[in-house]
Amino acid sequence: METAGNYAIQARGLTKQFGSLRAVSSLDLDVPRGQIYGFLGPNGSGKSTTIRMLCGLLVPTEGTAEVLGTTVPGDSHSLKAKIGYMTQKFSLFSDMTVLENLQFIAEIYSYPSAERKTRIANLLDRYDLNDQAKQLAGTMSGGQKQRLALACSVLHHPELLLLDEPTSAVDPQSRRDFWANLFRLAEGGTTIMVSTHYMDEAERCHRLAILDRGVKVADGTPQRLQASTGMHVVEVTASDPYAAQAALDGVDAIASVTQLGVRLRVLIPDDVDNPVGLVKRALDAAGVSAEAGASEASLEDVFVAVTMQNPDHVA
Amino acid sequence: MKSLSRLLAIVKKEVRQLRRDRLTFGMVVGLPIIQILLFGYAINTDVRNLRTAIANEADTHLSREFIADLGQTQVVDIVASVSRPAELEALLREGAISIGVHIPPDFDRRTVDASRAAVHLLVDGSDPTILGVANQLRSMPLGFDTMRAAANDVGNIEVRAYYNPERRTPVNIVPGLMGVILTMTMMLFTAVAIVRERERGNLELLINTPVSSAELMIGKVIPYIVIGLLQLALILVVGRLLFDVPVRGSIVDLYLAAALFIAANLSLGLFISTAVSTQFQAMQMTVFILLPSILLSGFMFPFDGMPRFAQYLGEILPNTHFIRLTRGIMLREAPLGELLPDVIYLAGFTVVAMTAAAMRFTKRLD
């Protein structure tokens, strides 16, 4: 397959309907090989459903995908050996030890028995689980469970790793370590698709797609997404952010106001001239003392801007 | 080859988890022992030692002899003697006795007068079993020794009991109990097996590995077949030691029949597991099938005595056929070949249930 040379995943028109709910709607995806591809969206935006369709757990209502040269839906069985999948909920066996879990995964993937021991020892080292080797998986901390889950999902050297919100249950330090591990895997040639609702994680991805209510509202590199929001961003610093927000909410030209502590991020469409002046005039008119200045779009601004433009969006 | 190693991986995992699951492990051993003790000792359809009080108003030689005879039957246990029949009624009402025996003052004369009852039995009729026993007591001979001999000549019906001449309930109960215990444990283990992994989230991991549905199903069933056969051995040993229940037929036949029956129950359990979505539902379904397996299988009540409709229902249950097999092999020394219809039914049931389970179980979430 030609596309398989460049892309690990190519999806066209992927749709999943659960009863009256359209969980994923006409999704097109192109995930280049060897990259970390982020899937950003709030809960219920269709991230898990998409990942499950890509690995054959769910049959799409419409559309197909080419995953590592295999067409989905179709012979997803031959795909299993080539992909690693880390479920959102911890899915290893809580009543078995770390070592037993790894051994089980090695056996179920028919890892060559002569190399099993070495491979498991390497993984215990790499994912810092040596002290827990004899511990029951269910008694470990969130971060340790997550490292075990990652170790198990990469044990058989998959070409493609699908991670469904892998960091939702761990502390910030564990998240940083986890991402360091992902970069190391990507350098080794593994394609990684990771869903998240954390902006800072999305920023680390090589490319990302933003999902909102089952619809892909944007995709590209984080830099390009930030450059092409179609919005000016004005940052307002006010001693009374509530008053400032109230003053700005009524202004027609202002698309959205988001509060971040004492700062407000104000999005104003590109075609409006002098956005900073507009904001200042509105604040002055309301008698609110605040500073306003132009700012670069962050990924959060991108997210707000694109989900606002989604026709399905209910304000 | 890869398939076999995956199958073994599942078996190994199941055994490991089972070893750590104290409750289940306890159930494997504890349940059969507790059940066999409960059923063996408590269920006694051969009624003995019913508490009885006597109001002997005659107090003659003949009436005292009658009371002594009554005591020797062991059916009654004379716990009190009162003077008036009204006191018997009071004791009966209090629940202190099950039977009251009233011997009127003119007892001796009444024994030779067929038109008048010589003895009044006051019976707690709320339990039909006790009433039945009282009716049996009616056939007790009354009167002087000379007359007793004459009475015996008339209408004397001798009952000869085959296979269980001592008429001990455990001999009949234990072979049936094997079926009940195996139904309960085997079906419950597998009914919970898959749905538990679904609840814990393990299933999503498993179905994303190269393991096939068949490998997963068979791998889950194998450890329980072994457990089922161990339970069978346990029941046989306890039945032998405590209740002297014999295995008159071939032990190999018995194990073959049991293996077939275990397979039928495990398949049914797997089917339940694919049809329900929580462990609680799985348990409810198990009880739903377990109850008729106890009541309609011929375990509790004689199958032929049940209403026609109940018999039809009973015929569907694997336990009905297994009980016929075990009673046949253990008590009547019947070879498996003579019990072929039941063997065929169990085999057919297994195939149908297993196929249904495999068809329902897909390596997908929708």
Q: Are residues B145 and B279 in the same domain?
A: no
Q: Are residues B314 and B186 in the same domain?
A: yes
What is the Cβ-side half-sphere exposure of residue A233, based on CA atoms within 13 angstroms?
Answer: 21
Indicate whether B159 belongs to any domain.
no
CB A99 within 8 A of CB A157: no
Q: Is residue B333 pLDDT above 90, yes or no?
A: no
Indicate whether B303 belongs to any domain.
yes
CATH code (residue B136): 3.40.1710.10
Q: Is residue B161 pLDDT above 90, yes or no?
A: no
Q: Are residues B244 and B307 in the same domain?
A: yes
Q: Are residues B23 and B122 in the same domain?
A: no
Q: Could you say which of B89, B124, B153 is where a domain stops?
A: B153
The residue of A48, A72, A107, A113 whose CB has the most chain B CBs within 10 angstroms, and thus the best one to mutate to test that interface, is: A107
Helix (H, G, I), strand (E, B) or coil at A38: strand
Q: Using one digit for the tens of pLDDT, what is the confidence trace for A111-121?
A: 999 999 999 99
Indicate whether B163 belongs to any domain.
no
Q: Is residue B151 pLDDT above 50, yes or no?
A: no
Q: Is residue A260 pLDDT above 70, yes or no?
A: yes
Following DSSP, what letter does each residue of B104-152 receive, concatenated? -TTHHHHTT-TTS-S-EEEE-TTSHHHHHHHHHHTTS--S-HHHHHHHH
| Residue A168 CB partners (closer than 8 Å, separation 6+) | A88, A197
Q: Is residue B245 pLDDT above 50, yes or no?
A: yes
- Residue in A56, A77, A92 closest to B205 by CB: A92
Q: Are residues B355 and B275 in the same domain?
A: yes
Distance CA B236, CA B245 (A): 8
Q: Both tokens of residue B124? A: 């707690």
Q: Using one digit for the tens of pLDDT, what is the confidence trace for A35-62?
A: 999 999 888 899 999 999 998 889 999 9
Q: Could you say which of B123, B153, B183 is where a domain stops?
A: B153
Please tell me whether the interface predicted TM-score (ipTM) of this complex is above 0.90. Answer: no
Q: Are residues B297 and B201 in the same domain?
A: yes
Q: Are residues B94 and B222 in the same domain?
A: no
Q: Which residues on chain A are in Cβ contact (under 8 Å) with B18?
A: none
Residues comprising chain A, all counted: 315
Residue in chain B closest to A92 (alpha carbons) equals B202
Distance CA B250, CA B360 (A): 38
- Residue in A59, A80, A100 closest to B364 by CB: A59
How high does pLDDT run on average in chain B?
A: 83
Give the global pTM: 0.79
Give percent above pLDDT 90 in chain B.
Answer: 26
Contact criterion met (CB < 8 Å) for A108 and B6: yes
Q: Are residues B146 and B271 in the same domain?
A: no
Question: How many Å separate Cα B299 from the centre of its chain?
Answer: 4
Q: Are residues B72 and B199 in the same domain?
A: no
Grade residue A68 by pLDDT with cuts at 50, 70 and 90.
Answer: very high
Q: Using one digit for the tens of pLDDT, what is the confidence trace for B91-144?
A: 888 888 888 888 889 888 887 777 777 888 888 777 767 777 777 776 666 654
Indicate whether B244 belongs to any domain.
yes
Indicate whether B160 belongs to any domain.
no
Domains of chain A in start order, with CATH, are 2-225 (3.40.50.300), 230-296 (3.30.70.100)
Q: Both tokens of residue A168? A: 């939702």
- Asked if the peptide bond before residue B105 counts as cis, ω within 30 degrees of 0, the response is no
Q: Are residues B214 and B339 in the same domain?
A: yes
CB B91 within 8 A of CB B80: yes
Indicate whether B24 belongs to any domain.
yes
CB A86 within 8 A of CB A178: no
Handedness of CA B28, B29, B31, B36 (dihedral sign): positive
Total domains in the fold of chain B: 2
pLDDT the model gives residue A67: 92
Indicate whether B162 belongs to any domain.
no
Indicate whether B268 belongs to any domain.
yes
> In terms of residue numbers, what domain contains B176?
2-43+168-360
pLDDT the model gives residue B176: 85
Contact criterion met (CB < 8 Å) for A110 and B20: no
CB B87 within 8 A of CB B114: no
Q: Region of B141 please: left (phi>0), alpha (psi -120 to 50) or beta.
A: beta
Q: Region of A67 please: left (phi>0), alpha (psi -120 to 50) or beta.
A: beta
Interface residue A110 vs chain B (CB under 8 A): yes
Q: Is residue A151 pLDDT above 90, yes or no?
A: yes
Q: Are residues B106 and B35 in the same domain?
A: no
Residue in chain B closest to A112 (alpha carbons) equals B2
What is the Cβ-side half-sphere exposure of residue B167, based on CA atoms within 13 angstroms?
Answer: 7
Q: Are residues B347 and B219 in the same domain?
A: yes
